[in-house]
Chain A
Amino acid sequence: MKASSKHLKLLVITSVATAIIPLTSLAEDKVAIQIQQYKENDDRIKVLDGKLSIEHDFGPNHTLSGEYDWDSISGASPTWDSITGASSETGSDAFTGASACVPEEGENYYDYCRNTRLINGVVGDGDTNLDNFVYKNVPLKDHRDSLAFLYTYRTPTMRNELSIGASYSKENDFKNTGLSVEYLMYTDRSKNRSITAGVSYMKNEVYDYLGEKDEHGEYSLGSQWNDFDLINGQVGITQVFDANTIAKFSAYYMVEEGHLSNPYFNVVRRINVIDSSSDEYTTADIYPKYYLARDSRPEQRKAGGISIQTAKSLNENTTWHTSYRFYQDSWGVQSHTLESKSYHNITDNVRFSPVLRLYTQNEANFFKAHDSVDNIFSETGYATADDRLGNFTAWTGQLGLEYLESKKLTWNIVLGYQEQSTGLAFAWVNFGAQYRY
């Protein structure tokens, strides 16, 4: 229980590795605080998250901003497990190897057993029927701290912007260090068009509680840190269409490499084993057994896509934002995201902002949903039952309210809700303030 109860942060925190620039610089001196409470249905994950940010100008050419983020996560997340909870027992036969493979199954079985572990990352003992396997919530708890800085320099004549960012985040089983550079260049003297180009590099370390396989194909005792890196490039054009309309077109591409499998997710594999005590056996001696095995993903993921964002002022009191994003990766995931957000000044001091967002994605080519008819993997090949790599649609609604107490001080409250066709639903509430000094 120990191992799995401190993990699973990865389930929630994957966003650290995506943004080119972790912060934005608007050349305003300001401090802001934002607190979020997030909750999933079926007593799943709960998150309490707080962010504190400060932005300060050093003359018109230099801006420095910093952000501290603190969050704690608790609850449970579903994965394949055995009824007895093999995945959460660090002392299971996955560690000791021999103890599970030796018994009365016979010598051939023993060899095969060890080999399957080498190939498939089998966790726990096999079973001849599926009754011992269940897709269930596994408890989790973690805490994350992260820090990000962004420095922006504006060139004297054209006011082009060079931004350099650095970020670091740490939790019990995940570390992320990021560096990013972005350049914004105006292409015309009226500054109605700009090109943005950015690159970021993220180094991630994942703590694997099962450790690494040794030369015998068995998991060594103890755990270890595994790396995966991410390189992300993005180019965009921002164009002013008229005095009330602006749009940004972007293309992005990224490559992730390294330990991309999630050490806390399992699948069920069917493996043919041989029940014979001698080298002589017939097909009658071969029978299938089911094993809990680790989530297994390719060591590389290439992804890319395009996005279009527009902002239009409809009248003095209404602004409408729309965006569309297309995404595709080498694992076979493809997605479309459509979002509408509008800002309505209800009074001089109150601003209302509803959001509607539609999302659809299709599954990775090595995904099998836990509740599908065909939910068992064969003995080899990549395998995941992580719903986030599955086929689903989702809609999100948000209601935001800002109270502009003065030109300097703004309060906000945001209520959000998402429902996925996987059955997952979650809601969140944001509360915060922003002070310009």
Chain B
Amino acid sequence: MPQSMKIKLLLIVCCFTCSACSIVPVKSWQKATLAGETMRFGGPNPMIKKFDEHIYTSKEGTKGGGGVSGGGCGCN
């Protein structure tokens, strides 16, 4: 199978898996857990993650796709 087909297939599987996941609307007052600092994609201390990313991009052939924004409770 050509590489591009594999990628497409992977994405389609992703779509189905995700649409099968139940999305339960979470009320504004139920976001205590989501607001927790360990729930942030950048972690409680984003500097640690930045150091990690710095090492990885320096020693591997891959660039980008990182980014630590987003996540959390949307209550800023």
CB distance from A151 to the nearest CB of B (A): 14
Is the beta-carbon distance between B46 and A194 smaller than 8 angstroms?
no
B-side interface mostly = loop
Residues of A near B11 (CB, < 8 A) are: 306
In the complex, identify which listed stretch (A91-99, A262-270, A412-420) lies at the interface while the others stay far away: A412-420
Given A159-B76, A240-B26, A305-B65, is A19 in contact with B53 using a C-beta cutoff of 8 Å? yes
Query: Considering the complex, which residues of chain A in the window 1-57 have a beta carbon less than 8 Å from any beta carbon of chain B?
Result: 11-15, 17-21, 23-24, 26-27, 32, 34, 36, 38, 49, 51, 53
Is the beta-carbon distance between A26 and B25 smaller than 8 angstroms?
no
Residues of B near A361 (CB, < 8 A) are: 60-62
Q: Is A190 an interface residue, CB under 8 A from the partner?
A: yes
Given A184-B70, A240-B26, is A51 in contact with B63 using a C-beta cutoff of 8 Å? no
Is the beta-carbon distance between B61 and A402 smaller than 8 angstroms?
no
Is the beta-carbon distance between A236 and B62 smaller than 8 angstroms?
no
Is the beta-carbon distance between A196 and B69 smaller than 8 angstroms?
yes
Given A159-B74, A243-B24, A303-B64, is A15 in contact with B45 using a C-beta cutoff of 8 Å? no
A286 to B39, CA, bound (A): 67
Q: Is A170 an interface residue, CB under 8 A from the partner?
A: no
How many A residues face the partner with a CB closer than 8 A? 95
CB distance from B5 to the nearest CB of A (A): 14
Is the beta-carbon distance between B69 and A24 smaller than 8 angstroms?
yes
Contact with A along B4-39 (1 / 0, CB 8 A): 000100110010001001111111101101101011
Q: Is A88 an interface residue, CB under 8 A from the partner?
A: no
CB distance from B21 to the nearest CB of A (A): 6
A430 to B26, CA, bound (A): 36
With most chain A CB atoms within 10 A of its CB, the pick from B25, B53, B67 is B67
Cβ-neighbour of A13 out of B56, B58, B63 (below 8 A): B58
A411 to B52, CA, bound (A): 17
A191 to B58, CA, bound (A): 36
A248 to B28, CA, bound (A): 19
CB distance from A143 to the nearest CB of B (A): 16
Q: Is A400 an interface residue, CB under 8 A from the partner?
A: yes
Question: Across the two chains, which residue of chain B brings its CB closest to A305?
Answer: B65
Q: Is A220 an interface residue, CB under 8 A from the partner?
A: no
Is the beta-carbon distance between A246 and B53 smaller than 8 angstroms?
no
Query: Considering the complex, which residues of chain A in the window 151-210 have a beta carbon less than 8 Å from any beta carbon of chain B?
Result: 154, 159, 161, 163, 182, 184, 186, 190-192, 194, 196, 198
A293 to B44, CA, bound (A): 47
Residues of B near A27 (CB, < 8 A) are: 76
CB distance from A426 to the nearest CB of B (A): 7
Q: Is A308 an interface residue, CB under 8 A from the partner?
A: yes
Q: Closest 8 A-B residue pairs measured CB to CB?
A: A191-B74, A15-B57, A319-B38, A343-B38, A238-B70, A27-B76, A242-B24, A34-B47
Offer 27 A-B interface pairs, CB within 8 angstroms, sorted by A.
A17-B63, A18-B66, A20-B69, A26-B40, A34-B45, A34-B47, A34-B51, A49-B51, A51-B51, A190-B26, A196-B69, A238-B71, A240-B34, A241-B23, A244-B33, A246-B39, A252-B65, A303-B64, A321-B41, A335-B62, A351-B38, A388-B61, A416-B55, A418-B55, A428-B55, A432-B47, A434-B45
Can you name 14 extra interface pairs (CB under 8 A) apart from A182-B69, A243-B33?
Answer: A14-B58, A24-B69, A49-B51, A51-B47, A234-B64, A303-B64, A327-B64, A334-B3, A341-B43, A359-B62, A361-B62, A394-B59, A394-B60, A398-B52
